[in-house]
Amino acid sequence: MSQSNVQGGTRVKPKENRNRKKWITPKTVPYLFILPAVTFFLIFTVYPVISSLLLSFQTRVGSEYEFVWFENYIRLFQDALFYKALGNTFLILIIQVPIQLFLAVIIAVALNSQFVKMKSFFRVAFFMPAITALVASSIIFMIMLDENYGLVNYLLSFVGIEPVAWLSDPFWAKVALMVAITWRWTGYNMVIFLAGLQNIPGSLYEAAEMDGASKLRQFFYITLPQLKPIFLFTFVLSTIGTLQLFDEPYILTNGGPNNATMTITLYLYENGFRYFDFGYASAIAYVLVLIIGVLSWAQMKWAGEDK
């Protein structure tokens, strides 16, 4: 058992004990606290990103992977099904996202109005789809849109409309997919717009009323301009989410019929986990990352938020 030494009447700790804690100083303590987070970030984020990038330049030959450099990317840009999936994804983006954001703004303005009662109930009701399990909500839509026994076609029969092949017709399958996505994410964007509306100074509306501006003119000349940063934020988020669309087309239609609802992410999944062509799937992933980056930059640039 080691004991402290006494020098000149002062108790001195052994040298080995002093050296043991020398590396713990006020300067190093913050780094020790963030070390676990940095370690997990490197292991579960940085390493997979670098590994998948290297994998995109490889292909499996037998049981091993060999570098083929840009062959996966050359194959990708010659792949007709990739362009089909890209076209489907952009069609959903161009049609569904503006409709979704328009509905979100209208609902947010209505719930921000002083004339609407039970605001908390309606806010929760509209936001509930965003926290509903994707699998559960997609299965419910499958049941409701069933061509023979679905609730939607049953209700349409009361007004003399023939049953619609919601999930087996290429056109209606796209419509059903857009409806499901709109139902799920409109409330989510509504909450963001509602937060933006509550941050608009009331003095702007009071001054407009004193100048005789109608509610409609106030909406177009005060509300919408003040919500420009919110529009940019929600549009970028919705664009990224649409380009990563997977759950709804996978569960509702599995990319069909005839690849009519095949999206880029679903095509990536099929190559990676159905055909086990991980090199080609990685190439698709990095092309998708490039597309998302370019579109996000273009939206920020177009909106004048390029700082």
Q: CA 118, 197, 221: angle at the middle one, nearest 5?
A: 125
Burial class, 122, CB count within 10 angstroms (exposed 0-12 / middle 13-18 / buried 19+):
middle
Structure tokens at 99: 């409709």
**Secondary structure (3-state) at 40:** helix
Model confidence at 12, in pLDDT bands (50, 70, 90)?
low
pLDDT of residue 8: 52
The H or E element spanning position 150 is: none
The H or E element spanning position 158 is: none
Sign of torsion over alpha carbons 32, 34, 36, 40: negative
- Assign domain 75-302 one CATH number from 3.40.630.30, 1.20.1050.10, 3.20.20.70, 1.10.3720.10: 1.10.3720.10
Of 60-69, 184-193, 293-302, the poorest mean pLDDT is in 60-69
CA atoms within 13 A on the CB side of 214: 2
Using the predicted structure, report yes or no on whether residue 1 has a pLDDT greater than 50: no
Q: Are strands 10-12 and 58-61 parallel, antiparallel or unpaired?
A: unpaired
Using the predicted structure, report yes or no on whether residue 65 has a pLDDT greater than 90: no
Q: For residues 23-34, give the mean pLDDT.
A: 82
Q: CA 127, 242, 133: angle at the middle one, nearest 5?
A: 40
Using the predicted structure, report yes or no on whether residue 203 has a pLDDT greater than 90: no
Average pLDDT, the chain: 86
pLDDT of residue 194: 92
How does pLDDT run across 127-141, given as a tens digit for each residue?
A: 999 888 888 888 889
For residue 35, which amino acid is it? L
The structure's pTM equals 0.81
Measured in degrees and rounded to the nearest 5, phi and psi for residue 11 equal -80, 125
Q: For residues 10-36, give the mean pLDDT.
A: 70
pLDDT of residue 200: 86
Q: For residues 241-270, give the mean pLDDT.
A: 90
Using the predicted structure, report yes or no on whether residue 307 has a pLDDT greater than 50: no
Burial class, 84, CB count within 10 angstroms (exposed 0-12 / middle 13-18 / buried 19+):
middle
pLDDT of residue 192: 93
Using the predicted structure, report yes or no on whether residue 252 has a pLDDT greater than 50: yes
How does pLDDT run across 210-230, given as a tens digit for each residue?
A: 888 888 888 888 888 888 889
Measured in degrees and rounded to the nearest 5, phi and psi for residue 27 equal -80, -30
How does pLDDT run across 225-241, given as a tens digit for each residue?
A: 888 889 989 999 999 99
